Amino acid sequence: MVSSSFKAGFVSIVGKPNVGKSSLMNKLMGENLSIISAKAQTTRHRIMGILNGDDFQIVYSDTPGILEPKYSLHEAMMSYVKVSMEDADAILLVVALEDTYEQELFERFQKIKTPILLVINKIDLGKGTQVADKVAYWKSSLPNIREIVTVSAKTGEHVQDLFPKLLSLMPNHPPYFPQDEFTDRTERFFASEIIREKIFLNYDQEIPYSAEVSVQAFKEDENIIRISAVIYVERDSQKGILIGKGGSSLKKVGMDARKDMEAFFGKKIFLETHVKVADNWRKEKLKLRHFGYLE
């Protein structure tokens, strides 16, 4: 029986690409649920992290970075942001220390009735009075913000200050998810995201943005998980770059991914990867549906 004082609600983590939203969610959760890369637009889906306690459940949503859509994949990504904000009991609007107010991006937050906490991230890079100056700057730029919190998602500094503030904004409500769950995503999804993260870390330019990973088989035995995955790219030339000379580049991606998967799943991993071409998949709705971006 859940107590009537139990609190449960949704917190949406939003902001531009590359401001540290995924790092922040991972720190809030104490789990690496979202992939992290120095490259922008790493997150493509809405990923929920479910933080459970004896008398609370906070459901964090890591969302794609807000951008002006250029093709169908971007449109799907922005629809995740929109739905996430509509569901939210509180919004964490994340900006990096060097960011400035951009009217087109930020004016939508002036009209939202949901409580918004502005999180200024990357304070570990601040010098002198820079952090205090930025707090004053954002107070005048976004006067409807409930509160401003300064953090470093990289080092963890002040991240713990967010929890009590968010808990106070959660309504009295029974848990939305079973209390032994920590995400709404499947093991297959995390396997594909770990491979995709390694592509972001091992390749430059267009390759990471043109690549999509589909886990074709995920077979778990007592001591080992056997995973077969296909990496899709948009052109034959990208396929050659991804595989590398004598398969060396793809082999490194597989080795790096397997190591992280073994830590994540707590079992030995046998990983098999193949590369295929799916022409212009980011622009074609049928292919986006196949990859799980559209209903």
- Contact, 28 vs 163, CB < 8 A? yes
Helix (H) or strand (E) holding 162: helix 162-169
Terminal CA-to-CA distance of the chain, rounded, Å? 35
Instruction: Note the pLDDT of residue 282.
Output: 85
Instruction: Note the pLDDT of residue 3.
Output: 76
Strands (E), the chain: 7-15, 47-52, 56-62, 90-96, 116-121, 147-150, 212-220, 224-233, 268-277
User: 71: which residues sit within 8 A by CB, 6+ positions away?
Assistant: 282, 283
- Contact, 96 vs 121, CB < 8 A? yes
Which among 39, 157, 142 has a CA at the least distance from the CA of 91?
A: 142
Q: Determine the Cα–Cα distance for residues 169 and 115; give it in Å rounded to an integer.
A: 8
Instruction: Note the pLDDT of residue 149.
Output: 96
Q: Give residue-wise pLDDT tens across range 109-146.
A: 887 889 999 999 999 999 999 999 999 999 999 988 99
Q: Tell me the whole-structure pTM to 2 decimals.
A: 0.81
Q: Give residue-wise pLDDT tens across range 61-112.
A: 888 777 776 767 778 767 777 877 788 999 999 999 999 998 888 888 887 8
- Per-residue pLDDT 10s for the chain (295 aa) are 667 899 999 999 988 888 888 889 889 998 777 766 565 566 667 788 999 999 999 999 888 777 776 767 778 767 777 877 788 999 999 999 999 998 888 888 887 889 999 999 999 999 999 999 999 999 999 988 999 999 999 999 999 999 999 999 999 999 999 988 888 888 998 899 999 999 999 998 788 889 999 999 999 999 999 999 999 999 999 999 999 999 999 999 999 999 999 999 999 999 999 999 999 898 888 888 888 877 6
- Contact, 55 vs 44, CB < 8 A? no
Helix (H) or strand (E) holding 86: helix 72-87
Q: Determine the Cα–Cα distance for residues 126 and 96; give it in Å rounded to an integer.
A: 11
Instruction: Note the pLDDT of residue 237.
Output: 93
Q: How far is CA 148 from the centre of its chain?
A: 22
Instruction: Note the pLDDT of residue 166.
Output: 96
